């Protein structure tokens, strides 16, 4: 875990503000690490963030439309996570706005915020809200964060099964029959799409395997 945290710390602090890293940024990183290390998280944890960042790194140099707002949204998209709540993404978006505005104030530039402009923060919020997976994402950044978030569906069987089991652990409070029905319904909703992934990059890489994994998981559930 320490190695992963140090890897994430270097990536976090090196990415956006190489000339300005200081205490406020260290504090932001520490708060995010604390949140993603909460004991009830079996999948939505630091490993998930690391896997999302790996997917981001693979597309960053290929696509000029992708910028650091997407990366910031990855860090925040599951910052608030309670399986009994129905507004985790909304709360995560509000948290992102609050903490990023605080960074601007810490830089003593609340009116300008430099790269942390209000437009920047608003785009981060929109990307986070897109991970609700309830409606079609709008624009490249939203499409890519949705696909990055769903990339686990197309991973090799072993990793997909680990993810599937970890989600069950997060919802242990749900009775088995109710869980199986709800989970199966979610998986069917993905299979009913003409394409699970919105971008060509992720569709080409993960679409076929994702459908195989989902069909296999539905067989287990039913």
One domain, residues 28 and 136: yes
- For residue 11, the model assigns a pLDDT of 87
- Looking at residues 130-153, what average pLDDT do you find? 95
Query: In the chain, what percentage of residues exceed pLDDT 70?
Result: 88
Query: In the chain, what percentage of residues exceed pLDDT 90?
Result: 74
- Looking at residues 121-131, what average pLDDT do you find? 95
One domain, residues 12 and 43: yes
One domain, residues 141 and 57: yes
Give the separation between CA 115 and CA 100, rounded to whole angstroms. 11
- Looking at residues 134-157, what average pLDDT do you find? 95
One domain, residues 217 and 163: yes
Is residue 95 within 8 Å of residue 101, measured between CB atoms? no
- For residue 151, the model assigns a pLDDT of 98
Q: What are phi and psi of 55, to 5 degrees?
A: -65, -40
One domain, residues 121 and 159: no
Count of structural domains, the chain: 2
One domain, residues 90 and 30: yes
Is residue 214 within 8 Å of residue 183, measured between CB atoms? no
Q: Between the CA of residue 15 and those of 71, 94, 180, what are the distances in Å?
A: 9, 22, 40
pTM (whole model) above 0.85: yes
One domain, residues 14 and 44: yes
**CATH number of the CATH domain containing 135:** 1.10.3210
State which of 136, 151, 166 marks the end of a domain: 151
Residue 84 banded pLDDT, cuts 50, 70, 90: very high
State which of 122, 151, 180 marks the end of a domain: 151
State which of 151, 184, 207 marks the end of a domain: 151
Residue 24 banded pLDDT, cuts 50, 70, 90: confident
Mean pLDDT across the chain: 90
One domain, residues 39 and 94: yes
Domain that holds residue 8: 2-151
Of residues 212, 90, 67, the one with CA closest to residue 145: 67
Mean pLDDT lowest among 36-45, 65-74, 186-195, 211-220: 65-74
């Amino acid at each position: 875990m320490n190695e992963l945290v140090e890897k994430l710390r270097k990536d976090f602090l090196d990415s956006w503000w190489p000339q300005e890293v200081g205490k406020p940024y260290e504090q932001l990183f520490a708060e995010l690490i604390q949140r993603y290390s909460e004991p009830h998280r079996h999948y939505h944890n630091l490993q998930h963030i690391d896997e999302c960042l790996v997917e981001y790194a693979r597309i960053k140099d290929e696509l000029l439309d992708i910028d650091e707002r997407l990366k910031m949204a990855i860090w925040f998209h599951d910052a608030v996570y309670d399986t009994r709540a129905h507004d985790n993404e909304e709360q995560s978006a509000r948290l992102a706005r609050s903490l990023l505005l605080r960074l601007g104030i810490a830089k003593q530039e609340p009116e300008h915020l430099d790269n942390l402009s209000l437009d920047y923060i608003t785009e981060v919020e929109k990307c986070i809200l897109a991970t609700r997976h309830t409606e079609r994402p709008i624009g490249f950044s939203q499409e890519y964060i949705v696909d990055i978030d769903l990339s686990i569906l197309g991973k090799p069987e072993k990793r997909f099964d680990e993810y599937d089991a970890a989600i069950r652990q997060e919802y242990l409070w749900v009775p088995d029959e109710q869980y199986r029905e709800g989970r199966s319904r979610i998986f069917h909703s993905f299979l009913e799409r003409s394409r699970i992934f919105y971008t060509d990059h992720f569709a080409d890489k993960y679409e076929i395997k994702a459908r195989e994994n989902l069909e296999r998981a539905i067989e287990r559930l039913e």
